[in-house]
Structure 1
């Protein structure tokens, strides 16, 4: 994938903007997000959300809970149609997030891992 560094830097910048519409514009309508934070936050009894509408509701709640959200990029790796971003997340948690991309470079699947929380 060309310009991976720019993609990653933009992804961090968009999240740090806290603008949910802009954040969601980078994801497909049928995006699937898996994260231990979904269940830990009490949003759902499952760790996977499907569809931009459900994911958007979760992220809106999360952004309210973390008004000082500021992701800091540590590094990234690339794979076949995916990027894994290593960053400092909310509450200084270390996170690795793998983003699977569709043919239009929209994010269609996400798996988030944290240093034990």
Structure 2
């Protein structure tokens, strides 16, 4: 969790399921840690297959195969200290 800024803005359709939050958003590192714990409890054999990475200035997109072979892309934005300040998780036709 050290690579996330304390004021992380993290959005994902999975947050809607695991946190019962219709906005699908987490806005602090402690809540993100709790969310990850719930997700890891549900998907105990969780693993990812990296497909591509796309680099830009202060941001990165990771394209990968996710839970249940869903195709995913995550946009990550970094602050000046190299901490992740924003994540937007996207899934191909999965929700």
Fold similarity call, TM over 0.5? yes
- What is the aligned-residue RMSD (CA, Å)? 1.1
| SS in structure 2 of the partner of residue 41 of structure 1 | helix
1:38 paired residue number = 15
Aligned to 2:31, which of 42, 54, 69?
54
Pair 1:107-2:76 in alignment: no
Rounded Cα–Cα distance in structure 1 between residues aligned with 2:17 and 2:77: 23
In structure 1, distance between residues paired with 2:9 and 2:38:
17
| 2:48 is aligned with 1:75 | no
Q: Can you give the 5+ residue segments of structure 2 that lack an aligned partner in the other structure?
A: none
Which structure: greater helix fraction? 1
Q: Which runs of 5+ in 1 are unaligned?
A: 1-23
Distance change (3 Å), C-alpha of 1:42 and 1:51: closer
Bigger relative CO (Cα 8 Å, ≥ 6 apart): 2
Structure with bigger strand share is 2
Q: Distance in 2 between matches of 1:43 and 1:60?
A: 15
* Per-residue deviation, 1:45: 2.7
Structure 1 stretches of 4+ with a deviation exceeding 4 A read none
Q: How many residues align?
A: 94
